[in-house]
Amino acid sequence: ETGVTQTPRHLVMGMTNKKSLKCEQHLGHNAMYWYKQSAKKPLELMFVYSLEERVENNSVPSRFSPECPNSSHLFLHLHTLQPEDSALYLCASSQGGGNEKLFFGSGTQLSVL
């Protein structure tokens, strides 16, 4: 158990659906992250929040919308996704501001039909 919990573990959605991914960390960390992991590709950073403020938006399409209501919770709202968005979405947290190790959740395996 890493202290970072993601729900749901699996999600299948149509291209017109709206869904949300949830992440919660129990480590008292100040920074939270969304990464995308596709087969045969390196992890791609999507968003970073530090003290509930977004500090990084890595050229992610607007059909992905993050939300960080407090330092323990992070959401990724999904809307009109494409089949190529199918991937494992990983949430992570870290103590503070960069240059330090991340603690990852188990991810949400997303399939877009």
Show contacts with other proteins in window 24-63 (CB under 8 A). 31, 33, 40-43, 45, 48, 50, 55-56, 58
Considering the complex, what minimum distance in angstroms separates the CB of residue 31 from other proteins? 7
76: its two tokens: 């990724």
**Three-class SS state of 47:** strand
Based on CB atoms, which residue is closest to other proteins, 13 or 43?
A: 43
Its sign, for the CA torsion 17, 13, 26, 59, is negative
76 contributes a contact to other proteins by CB under 8 A: no
Considering the complex, what minimum distance in angstroms separates the CB of residue 106 from other proteins? 5
Give the separation between CA 93 and CA 62, rounded to whole angstroms: 23
Residue partners of 20: CB distance under 8 A and separation at least 6: 75, 76, 77, 78
Based on CB atoms, which residue is closest to other proteins, 14 or 96?
A: 96
- Binding-site ranges for other proteins (CB under 8 A): 2, 4, 6, 31, 33, 40-43, 45, 48, 50, 55-56, 58, 90, 92, 97-107
